[in-house]
């Protein structure tokens, strides 16, 4: 049985395997530091990781995976409400952090521990990560991902993207979601490619960092296209990969014109990992996300005029939500509406629910933001929707019935309690919310659809 972070155990190479703007670690150094930290996790079942965008987070997550302890990455800017919920709900016994303000019982992540012995890894069915992600209502839920699911997805992507130890992956995505963490960190550690994390996914940072593969959400690619000089620096890359939200066709076209190559688009979810993708050696079609990756099947249900609800099944799916019964049905209903062409190519048409918003590639539940707004003493009613935004895809827009309060105050109020990306960018103070005969808020009317 190969180990989950297979490539990490081949420690002959002395060059940096992972690097951030401040520091780098070779395979040997990363394995030694992580093994030393893993020894301190013995006996723990679940640990939280203060997931700053850098090498410390790579060490902490690697340590938990080596120790066979479930890792729960926490957004470093999570406000008090979100952080308390994740720590309580996950039951994390320790917080691995290089910042004393991270909360919980802190185990400092330092890079100066003497190298430790590498522990025996648990079996593939063991849970590896618990990733918190928003539903339509209530606080985020913990998505439990097994080692087998992570391995299956990374192996599928290695095949589809011809991703090898010869690659250098560059990205600056957050390390608490599937995109930046599973693909962007565990990918290199399993496959053996180098990883350069740029801290932030800015056009300047991408242009200044040589690599063969670059990962970004559509907002990142659209900002790169708006900086043509930086975009042209990516001409020598082997693969530009876009995912987490729909890539607008004009951005696809601009990227092709500026870099000389069309981006590879892929589709996934926290609950399913990446299930559909364009191949490195295949066609790239604007507005389409390609074919199911090896080991994954897809189908549409409730189909009308070629469009239906997308379901997926395969080895990459999650075990279930924490504290909820395990999944029983092999087929998972994604909540996305899609079409599948006669040639098998998938197009994501939109989401079935107006209550899940995608902003800058982040999934945000309207209910969580509404609940935070309602904690403000002046707020009587709140309804949150996603409205079109040229840079973020959608922006969080709140309609609020409130006694004398400014919109900016409500934005800041949410940003203090939840992660900054969950704050409403626009707040409309209104006399009443549009409701149907049942008293339910008519979100479609608020979205102007
Ligand atoms: C501004 N800021 C504020 C306020 N106003 N903070 C608090 N209160 C305020 N009122 C600050 C923020 O703290 C931040 O500061 C800065 O403004 C801007 O942050 P933000 O609003 O988040 O926007 P942005 O900088 O414009 O970010 C765009 C982005 C980001 C870089 C594209 O959205 C991003 O990283 N997205 C990636 C999401 C992702 O990885 N999703 C994958 C999900 P400071 O800059 O100092 O911190 S996984 C998934 O979807 C599946 C599996 C898949 O398919 O991949
Ligand atoms: P998350 O749970 O953050 O992983 O978000 C998953 C959701 O992101 C999916 O259900 C889709 O709505 C959306 N998504 C991911 N990749 C794509 C893509 N390439 N095109 C369109 N939507 C996408």
> Tokens 């601009």, residue?
254
**What is d(CA 84, CA 417) in angstroms, rounded to the nearest whole number?**
10
For residue 173, the CA-to-ligand 1 centroid distance in Å is 9
Count of CB atoms situated within 10 Å of the CB of 400: 24
Q: What are phi and psi of 315, to 5 degrees?
A: -75, -10
Which CATH number covers residue 69? 3.40.50.12780
For residue 244, the CA-to-ligand 2 centroid distance in Å is 4
Same domain, 149 and 64: yes
Lowest mean pLDDT among 87-91, 122-126, 181-185: 122-126
Q: Which of 81, 61, 47, 144 is nearest to 419 (CA)?
A: 81
* Total count of domains within the chain: 2
Band of the pLDDT at 114, cuts 50, 70, 90?
confident
| CB 76 near ligand 1, within 6 Å | no
Same domain, 85 and 186: yes
Instruction: Give the model's pLDDT for residue 110.
Output: 87
Count of CB atoms situated within 10 Å of the CB of 321: 17
Same domain, 347 and 365: no
Which CATH number covers residue 426? 3.30.300.30
**What is d(CA 61, CA 70) in angstroms, rounded to the nearest whole number?**
9
Last residue of a domain, one of 352, 382, 408: 352
> Tokens 């699911």, residue?
149
Same domain, 365 and 347: no
Please compute the mean of the pLDDT values over residues 62-83 and round it to a whole number.
96
For residue 420, the CA-to-ligand 1 centroid distance in Å is 7
For residue 245, the CA-to-ligand 2 centroid distance in Å is 5
For residue 418, the CA-to-ligand 1 centroid distance in Å is 12
Same domain, 284 and 340: yes
Same domain, 186 and 289: yes
SS3 239: strand
| CB 277 near ligand 1, within 6 Å | no
**What is d(CA 148, CA 90) in angstroms, rounded to the nearest whole number?**
21
Handedness of CA 46, 312, 349, 449 (dihedral sign): negative
Residue nearest to atom 29 of ligand 1 (CA): 360
Q: Which of 408, 183, 369, 354 is nearest to 277 (CA)?
A: 183
Instruction: Give the model's pLDDT for residue 1.
Output: 57
Same domain, 237 and 115: yes
Give me 393's structure tokens: 């895809």
% of the chain with per-residue pLDDT over 90 = 90
Radius of gyration of the chain (CA): 22
Same domain, 124 and 74: yes
Average pLDDT over the chain reads 95
Same domain, 363 and 334: no
Would you state the torsion angle of the CA atoms of residues 283, 272, 199, 250, taken in this order, to the nearest 10 degrees? 40
Q: What are phi and psi of 374, to 5 degrees?
A: -70, -15
Last residue of a domain, one of 322, 352, 382: 352
| CB 179 near ligand 1, within 6 Å | yes
Ligand nearest to the CA of 395: 1
Residues contacting ligand 2 via CB (< 6 Å): 133, 178, 243-246, 265-270, 289, 334-336, 348, 351, 358, 363
| CB 270 near ligand 1, within 6 Å | yes
| Domain span including residue 373 | 356-447
Instruction: Give the model's pLDDT for residue 119.
Output: 85
Q: pLDDT tens across 145-174, in order?
A: 999 999 999 999 999 999 999 999 999 999
Same domain, 348 and 360: no
Last residue of a domain, one of 320, 336, 352: 352
**What is d(CA 262, CA 259) in angstroms, rounded to the nearest whole number?**
8
Q: Which of 176, 185, 216, 217 to mutate to test the pocket of ligand 1 (most atoms within 8 A of CB)?
A: 217
276 sits in which H/E element: strand 273-277
Same domain, 257 and 127: yes
Same domain, 270 and 146: yes
**What is d(CA 30, CA 65) in angstroms, rounded to the nearest whole number?**
13
Ligand nearest to the CA of 338: 2
């Amino acid at each position: 049985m190969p180990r989950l972070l297979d490539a990490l155990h081949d420690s002959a190479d002395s060059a940096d395997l992972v690097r951030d703007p401040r520091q780098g670690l070779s395979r040997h150094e990363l394995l030694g530091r992580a093994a030393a930290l893993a020894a301190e996790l013995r006996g723990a079942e679940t640990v939280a990781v203060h997931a700053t965008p850098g090498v410390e987070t790579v060490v902490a997550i690697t340590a938990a995976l080596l120790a066979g302890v479930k890792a729960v990455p926490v957004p470093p800017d999570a406000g008090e409400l979100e952080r308390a919920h994740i720590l309580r709900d996950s039951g994390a016994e320790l917080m691995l952090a290089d910042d004393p303000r991270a909360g919980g019982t802190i185990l400092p992540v330092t890079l100066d521990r003497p190298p430790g012995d590498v522990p025996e890894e648990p079996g593939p069915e063991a849970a590896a990560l618990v990733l918190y992600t928003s539903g339509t209502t209530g606080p985020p839920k913990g998505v439990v991902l097994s080692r087998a699911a992570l391995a299956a997805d990374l192996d599928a992507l290695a095949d589809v993207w011809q991703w090898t130890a010869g690659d250098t992956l560059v990205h600056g995505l957050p390390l608490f979601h599937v995109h930046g963490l599973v693909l962007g960190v565990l990918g290199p550690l399993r496959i053996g490619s180098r990883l350069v994390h740029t801290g932030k996914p800015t056009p300047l940072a991408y242009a200044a960092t040589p690599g063969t593969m670059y990962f970004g959400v559509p907002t990142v690619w659209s900002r790169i296209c708006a900086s043509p000089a930086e975009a042209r620096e990516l001409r020598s890359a082997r693969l530009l990969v876009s995912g987490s939200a729909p890539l607008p066709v004009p951005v696809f076209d601009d990227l092709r014109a500026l870099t000389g190559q069309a981006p590879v688009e892929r589709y996934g979810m926290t609950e399913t990992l990446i299930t559909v993708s364009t191949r490195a050696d295949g066609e790239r079609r604007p507005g389409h996300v390609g074919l199911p990756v090896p080991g994954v099947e897809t189908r549409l249900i409730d189909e009308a005029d070629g469009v239906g609800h997308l379901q997926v099944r395969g080895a990459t799916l999650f075990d279930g939500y924490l504290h909820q019964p395990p999944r029983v049905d092999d087929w998972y209903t994604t909540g996305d509406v899609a079409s599948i062409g006669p040639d098998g190519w998938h197009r994501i048409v939109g989401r079935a629910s107006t209550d899940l918003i995608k902003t800058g590639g982040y999934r945000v539940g309207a209910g969580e933001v509404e609940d935070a707004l309602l904690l403000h003493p002046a707020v009587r009613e709140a309804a949150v929707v996603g409205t079109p935004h040229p840079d973020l895809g959608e922006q969080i827009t709140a309609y609020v019935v409130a006694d004398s309060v400014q919109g900016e105050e409500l934005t800041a109020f949410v940003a203090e309690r939840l992660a900054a990306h969950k704050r409403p960018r626009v707040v409309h103070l209104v006399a009443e919310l549009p409701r149907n005969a049942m008293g339910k808020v008519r979100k479609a009317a608020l979205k102007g659809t």
